[in-house]
Chains A and B, each alone.
Chain A
Amino acid sequence: AQKVTQAQTEISVVEKEDVTLDCVYETRDTTYYLFWYKQPPSGELVFLIRRNSFDEQNEISGRYSWNFQKSTSSFNFTITASQVVDSAVYFCALTMNRDDKIIFGKGTRLHILP
């Protein structure tokens, strides 16, 4: 069965600190995609990144970076020099190439304190 685990339910850090959100996934498929979505207090779901199972290169986008490691089935998300606007719920998600059905983790609520 496919599963996404975000063990951190809630995290609080002081502004400008770095913070890493953990994501561990389970699947028997060899072709799959991993995602991160952000849900700010306004409630909409914002796409952040997609990574396919054949590309283990880490990715950096501004203050955001993602570390994909197939050996540990993890796809962790790091925010460098956090800002108050980063406060949100962050969801990690998984889909298999065969059915395009996305399975979400339970989310991590991130509080950035000024």
Chain B
Amino acid sequence: DAEITQSPRHKITETGRQVTLACHQTWNHNNMFWYRQDLGHGLRLIHYSYGVQDTNKGEVSDGYSVSRSNTEDLPLTLESAASSQTSVYFCASSELAENTGELFFGEGSRLTVL
């Protein structure tokens, strides 16, 4: 069955370190998204991609970057982790033509920055 997986599921790091969260989907979807979830803020969009070599900033993109070298993967990098980036991160994918906006979510990655 097609799926979307995130790794690691849990990570603790220190302020200033670089962190990469992986996201891999086997749906063959063109669209991929990264959200962060924080109490009182719901889900906020960090970055998104509509296809290979395409990346776009969301509403909370500062301090994050993504790259899309193939259809299946959209890794999220925190160049220099900050305590404000402690959060739960969700990756999602969708297909414009088929599902117009219905997102398939990964299980989430809980990141703690000390």
Contacts and interface: CB of A to CB of B under 8 A. Distances in A.
Interface of A: 6, 33, 35, 43-45, 47, 50, 91, 95, 97, 100-107
A33 B41 CA distance: 21
Contact of B105 (A6, A45, A50, A101): A45
B42 A106 contact: yes
A43 B42 contact: no
Interface of B: 31, 33, 35, 40-45, 48, 50, 58, 88, 90, 92, 94, 96, 100-105, 107-108
B102 A101 contact: no
B103 A43 contact: no
Contact of A50 (B44, B90, B101, B108): B101
Contacts of B35: 104
A102 B33 contact: yes
A50 B102 contact: yes
Nearest to A109: B39
B42 A104 contact: yes
Q: DSSP class of B's interface residues: helix, strand, loop or mixed?
A: strand
Given A43-B88, A43-B107, A44-B108, A100 B42 contact: no
Contacts of B92: 102
B108 A100 contact: no
23 contacts: A33-B100, A33-B101, A35-B101, A43-B107, A44-B105, A44-B107, A45-B90, A45-B105, A47-B103, A50-B101, A95-B100, A100-B31, A100-B94, A100-B100, A101-B33, A101-B45, A101-B48, A102-B101, A104-B42, A105-B42, A106-B41, A106-B42, A107-B43
Given A100-B50, A102-B101, 11 more contacts: A33-B101, A35-B101, A35-B102, A44-B105, A44-B108, A45-B105, A50-B102, A95-B100, A101-B33, A103-B45, A104-B43
Nearest to A104: B43
Contacts of B108: 43-44
A100 B43 contact: no
A107 B90 CA distance: 15
